A and B are shown apart, each in its own frame.
Chain A
Amino acid sequence: MSDADTLLKEPWSSLERQREGARFAMWAFIGSEILFFGALLMAYSMLRFENHTAFAEASSESNLFYGTLNTVILVTSSTTMAIVAQACKQESGLHRLVVICLAATAALGFAFLVVKGLEYKDDLDKHLWPGPDFKLHDPAARIFFALYWILTGVHAVHLSIGIGLVSRLAFLGATGRRKLDGNPQVEVTSLYWHFVDIIWVMLYPIIYLSGR
């Protein structure tokens, strides 16, 4: 049985068609996610238009250091994931590099969540949860922080799923249970990871920079 046969799944007649199908399915999923996050970002834009000053004041309360650090972490993880996808697509035989970069990607994703956890703790210490003890007086600042917790929370859920997918591939590759070279699962996981990175790149200016 050849390598292509072990990767080939029903109902596909060839690995190339399977890869095309998987790629298209992931892009269609990304399209639906663009609509999901687009609706949230639209809500942010319209509410910011109506409450510009309060949003700027609220944004200046966010922790720029943690936000910037997390952006660098995710961009770096995107680079290691891109190397994984390119190495597997070329079927370069760089098994060790692929497994190391997958592990590095998952570790960087986990580091992002740790930093995010520290940031959430800092936010809660500063009473930035829009509850009874909320720090800011303008009611519209509550809306900003409601969106902040929703957007970053939903993003963290997406990232956690990505960490699970990448860790699975790293485990299967390291233990030799699954061939990663030419495997369509690698490209699909890589697309998902980059999309989660893109969402954060868009969230960074609207949460952390707009009120400085």
Chain B
Amino acid sequence: MANDKGSEQSKAWALWRRNLPIWALLVVLIAVNCGLAFVPLGPLDFPIQLSVAAIQVACIAIFSMGLRHSNVLIRCTLLYSGIFVLVMFLLTSADVVTRFANHWTR
């Protein structure tokens, strides 16, 4: 009985030890992103903030959602979504940027 309880506790600790460093990393990245917002980085500030957020997203997807152990089918599903979002961004930004280019050259 005592052994069972000890085994349960060690399993629980193993889970906490595995997940707490990821939580700490995510909280540090939130602090970094928040701090960067007050540093004058010019036009780079928004891309840098988005990059920090992308690192956080990758940490959650890989470690918490188990993407690193997922099969090919799931990776393909995500890839297709990503490709469609990319196409949507590319086509729309092509329209917006060319309209602005016309506006600037007038």
Chain A residues in the interface with B (C-beta under 8 A): 20, 23-24, 27-28, 30-32, 34-35, 38-39, 42, 45-46, 49-50, 64, 68, 71-72, 75-76, 78-79, 81-83, 85-87, 90, 92-94, 97, 190-191, 194-195, 197-198, 201-202, 204-206, 208-210, 212
Please measure, in the bound complex, the distance between the C-alpha atom of A203 and the C-alpha atom of B46, giving whole angstroms: 12
* With A83-B19, A204-B33 as contacts: A27 and B50 at CB distance below 8 Å: no
Q: Which of A86, A205, A212 contacts B52 (CB 8 A)?
A: A205
Is B12 a contact partner of A75 (Cβ separation < 8 A)?
A: no
Q: What is the interface residue range for chain B against chain A?
A: 35 or more
Please measure, in the bound complex, the distance between the C-alpha atom of A32 and the C-alpha atom of B19, giving whole angstroms: 28
Is B46 a contact partner of A27 (Cβ separation < 8 A)?
A: no
Is B15 a contact partner of A97 (Cβ separation < 8 A)?
A: yes
Min distance, Cβ B69 to any Cβ of chain A, angstroms: 10
Known: A34-B82, A38-B84, A197-B60. 9 other contacts (CB 8 A): A23-B70, A24-B77, A27-B78, A42-B85, A75-B30, A79-B20, A81-B64, A209-B33, A209-B36
Q: Which of B11, B26, B46, B93 contacts A94 (CB 8 A)?
A: B11
Tell me if B1 counts as interface (CB < 8 A to partner A). no
Is A97 a contact partner of B77 (Cβ separation < 8 A)?
A: no
Write out the residue numbers on chain A whose beta carbons fall within 8 Å of the beta carbon of B74: 23-24, 27
